[in-house]
Chains A and B, each alone.
Chain A
Amino acid sequence: MNDISIRQLEFIKQKTKYRRSVTRYRIAIFFAFIIIWQLTASFGIIDSFIFSSPIKIFACFYSMLKDGTILHHIFITLTETFLSFFLVIVIGILISVILWSNEKLSKILEPYLVVLNSLPKSALAPLLIVWLGANMRTIIVAGISVAIFGTIINLYTGFKEVNLDKIKLIYTLGGNKTNVLLKVVLPSSIPIIISTMKVNIGLSLVGVVIGEFLAARKGLGYLIIYGSQVFKLDWVIMSIVILCIIAMLLYKAINLLEKMYLKHI
């Protein structure tokens, strides 16, 4: 193309170079970490019984993959995470809408929400087991409890920040409060809902793993606790690595959703 100037090409080249170099460093750090970990373990600088090693983790993963147990654990944790994530979104939006539509109620409940939000939710987990039993329900509730209060506070604040003139516009067109909610407040809050989702998918995973620590026979959280009790630290570290990968993939998935939304608009 002739209409791109040389300076513009130069600029693009520089930007691409910069981006590539960032990616290169990221990959380099990852491999350096893996290699140093493996070498120090192989040469006995660190105790591979406690610290495991990439090869041991991979071997462990492979053997558990063959008998299918690891897939089952991952499946359980993912199911619980997704269930609590969706419930958080649905319940969060519902309660925020109720608070938005009832100013007085939101004023009354404000201090309670703040207290519940700052409460460390892991403190609730033992109580949940007593109340709900050691089953999947407890774990999902634990996942919800970690994310729900922050979600409500964020969404409600977002709803309140909608431009007042946009709301006035709906009234000038003869609309009522329901129209304001459906035509302005919810559509303009979609970016906030997506950014809340980004935070929540991680928080749900945290809550689910806390739940599994205490009240499960399956799932990655269970594998971590059980592995540490029987000194199978390969299991523990492998589960942590898998959790890292899951967290990254879930975050990427929400990012993709956001990109799709931005493209659609």
Chain B
Amino acid sequence: MSYPETYRYTKEHEWVHLENGIATVGITDHAQSELGDIVYVDLPKPGATVQTGQSFGSVESVKAVSDIYAPVAGEVIAANDDLATAPEKLNEDPHGAAWLIRVKVADGTDLGNLMNAADYESYIGAEH
């Protein structure tokens, strides 16, 4: 699976896509493949606030429960409810339909310290 050029990536394997002040956050294809079959996703409710670098939820696979860290700060305006009944979507389409939350970020939010697709791909290449 390819890593979209318009997304930015964290070392903890989340992606973020910023458009018109709304950041959509998910986990990467590499993350879902490392976790294995995902069986449960725990997400915040709309209205919650998330802080950069802080855990905002968790993803549970048959192997382990892993925290998910917010790449941006702001107010959660939507959480992907589909994942509650169909967590397998996170294995099938992690960069698309299985986004996790949408966050309203402050003006001037800068993703410059995150990796672009090429950097992320070499980062996960070096991990192994």
A, B bound: no
